[in-house]
């Protein structure tokens, strides 16, 4: 099976920002990456199959707690939340002057490492927060091998001690993964329309209103 | 890139501006209080990283990582200052830090960073 056949389900055209399909499905992507990694032979052999520059990884995921029992769960794919998350991903990156990374064989290891870091982060803070948005981007155009994983960690209301606790957890993650650059911001959701706060452009949905635990 | 002494001078100048002028208008402009407070902290951190680790950074993300690794005790305070300043600079006026948030970074987070750096400069 060719590289493009493995990757096609997860790498969509980045211009299709209004489709739910543009979002990154985490579990299936990990399976695909695993299959891909176990099959590829060398960079030269698969060079022709690399995704084009017009394709980007949709890496925005929202974790949320359900109303019943505060269980940690993944979002429903049909939720408008995901549409907003996709737009936030783009908005956030463009605001920062960064560029969403394109998937290549060279950065597969980084994506896998990122997944592991975020798993650790989620375990550390999930009882304290309402949700997390994140993406992966280049540090700067002239530093094409350095990536930043960043986004928003949303807490219910302004609380200095809670913010400090989350930052302490983030510090732990950074120290155990010094190669990765993390850029997460903690924000309080109370009284804010978060979709506007984060993206500035999306006035239709308030993705958090249905999910406050 | 600034030398240690120059970074400390800028940090103190920013700190004095907050205490002598900006706190008088914190009700109306809490965003500017947080912006100056963050850059005050940044210069303190830069001075420490250069003096003790010979590190000079241009990117916020790299500097924040260095603080997490080399200045672990003040990472939460520094990141909070960074976030407040970031929101004040890039978000809508309605989403900027509130007066309470601005006052708290001046009362707690910035003094924490300053004390940490100055104790190690002697």
Angle of CA points B109, B110, B112, to nearest 5°: 65
Query: Residues A87-124: pLDDT tens digits?
Result: 434 333 333 333 344 444 555 566 566 666 767 777 77
Per-residue pLDDT at A51 exceeds 60: no
Per-residue pLDDT at A184 exceeds 70: yes
Domain range B4-119, CATH architecture: Up-down Bundle (1.20)
Q: What is the mean pLDDT of residues B49-73?
A: 95
Per-residue pLDDT at B114 exceeds 90: yes
- Please give the mean pLDDT across all residues of chain A: 52
| B95/A contact by beta carbon, under 8 A | yes
- Contact across the interface for B75 and A168, Cβ inside 8 Å: yes
* Choice between A45 and B71, residue whose per-residue pLDDT is larger: B71
- Contact across the interface for B77 and A187, Cβ inside 8 Å: no
* Residue ranges of domains in chain A, CATH in brackets: 57-199 (3.30.70.1350)
What is the per-residue pLDDT for A73? Answer: 31
* Choice between A202 and A152, residue whose per-residue pLDDT is larger: A152
Residues of chain A above pLDDT 70, percent: 25
Closest CA–CA distance from residue B108 to any residue of chain A (Å): 10
Residues of chain B above pLDDT 70, percent: 100
Q: How far apart are CA A28 and CA A31, in angstroms?
A: 5
Per-residue pLDDT at B76 exceeds 90: yes
Q: What confidence tier does A125 reach under pLDDT thresholds 50, 70, 90?
A: confident
Per-residue pLDDT at A74 exceeds 70: no
State the angle between helix axes of A160-176 and B60-70 in degrees (0 to 180), rounded to the nearest 10.
90
Of the listed ranges A48-62, B81-95, B102-116, the least confidently predicted one is: A48-62
Of the listed ranges A40-49, A189-198, B20-29, the least confidently predicted one is: A40-49
Strand bridging mode A143-155 / A181-188: parallel
- Please give the mean pLDDT across all residues of chain B: 95
What is the per-residue pLDDT for A65? Answer: 32
B99: closest chain A residue by CA: A158
Q: Report B:5-44 residues touching A (Cβ under 8 A).
A: none
Q: What is the mean pLDDT of residues A132-157?
A: 69
Per-residue pLDDT at B95 exceeds 60: yes
Closest CA–CA distance from residue A9 to any residue of chain B (Å): 32
Dihedral angle over CA of B114, B119, B120, B122, nearest 10: 120
**Domain spans in chain B, listed from the N-terminal domain onward:** 4-119
Cβ contacts of B45 on chain A, cutoff 8 Å: none
What is the per-residue pLDDT for A133? Answer: 64
What is the per-residue pLDDT for A28? Answer: 43
pTM beyond 0.80: no
DSSP A15: T
Per-residue pLDDT at B69 exceeds 80: yes
Q: How far apart are CA A30 and CA A36, in angstroms?
A: 10
Q: What is the mean pLDDT of residues B71-93?
A: 92
Q: What is the mean pLDDT of residues B68-97?
A: 91
3-class DSSP string for A113-177: HHHHHHHHHHHHHCCCCCEEEEEEEEEECCEEEEEEEEEEEEECCCCHHHHHHHHHHHHHHHHHC
What is the per-residue pLDDT for A113? Answer: 67
Per-residue pLDDT at B64 exceeds 50: yes
What is the per-residue pLDDT for A177? Answer: 83
Cβ(A148)–Cβ(A184) below 8 Å: no
Helix (H/G/I), strand (E/B), else coil: A3? helix
Longest CA–CA separation in chain B, Å: 42
Strand bridging mode A64-65 / A72-73: antiparallel
Phi, psi of B95 (to 5 degrees): -100, 5
Show contacts of A106-111: CB within 8 Å, 24+ apart.
A106/A43, A107/A147, A108/A33, A108/A36, A108/A37, A110/A136, A110/A147, A110/A180, A111/A33, A111/A57, A111/A136
- Contact across the interface for A171 and B59, Cβ inside 8 Å: no
The residue to which tokens 């601005």 are assigned: B102
């Amino acid at each position: 099976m060719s590289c493009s056949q493995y990757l096609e389900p997860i790498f969509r055209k980045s211009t299709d920002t209004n489709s739910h399909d543009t979002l990154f499905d985490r579990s299936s992507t990990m399976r695909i990456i695993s299959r891909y990694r176990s099959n590829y032979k060398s960079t030269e052999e698969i060079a022709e199959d690399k995704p084009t520059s017009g394709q980007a990884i949709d890496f925005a995921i929202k974790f949320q707690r359900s109303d019943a029992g505060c269980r940690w769960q993944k979002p429903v794919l049909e939720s408008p939340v995901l549409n907003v998350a996709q737009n936030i991903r783009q908005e956030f990156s463009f605001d920062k002057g960064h560029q969403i990374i394109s998937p290549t064989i060279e950065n597969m290891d980084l994506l896998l490492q990122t997944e592991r870091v975020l798993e650790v982060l989620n375990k550390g803070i999930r009882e304290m927060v309402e949700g997390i948005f994140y993406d992966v981007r280049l540090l700067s155009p002239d530093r094409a091998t350095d990536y930043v994983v960043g986004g928003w960690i949303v807490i219910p209301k302004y609380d200095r001690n809670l913010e400090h606790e989350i930052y302490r957890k983030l510090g732990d993650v950074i120290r155990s993964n010094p190669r990765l650059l993390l850029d997460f911001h903690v924000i309080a959701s109370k009284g804010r329309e978060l979709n506007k706060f984060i993206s500035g452009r999306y006035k239709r949905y308030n993705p958090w209103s249905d999910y406050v635990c | 890139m600034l030398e240690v002494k120059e970074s400390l001078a800028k940090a103190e100048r920013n700190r004095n501006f907050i205490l002598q002028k900006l706190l008088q208008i914190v009700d109306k402009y809490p965003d500017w209080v947080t912006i100056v407070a963050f850059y005050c902290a940044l210069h303190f951190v830069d001075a420490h990283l250069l003096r003790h680790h010979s590190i000079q950074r241009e990117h916020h993300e790299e500097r924040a990582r260095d603080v997490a690794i080399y200045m672990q005790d003040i990472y939460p305070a520094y990141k909070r200052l960074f976030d407040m300043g970031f929101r004040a600079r890039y978000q809508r006026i309605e989403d900027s830090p509130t007066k309470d948030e601005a006052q708290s970074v001046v009362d707690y987070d910035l003094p924490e960073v300053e004390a940490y750096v100055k104790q190690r400069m002697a």
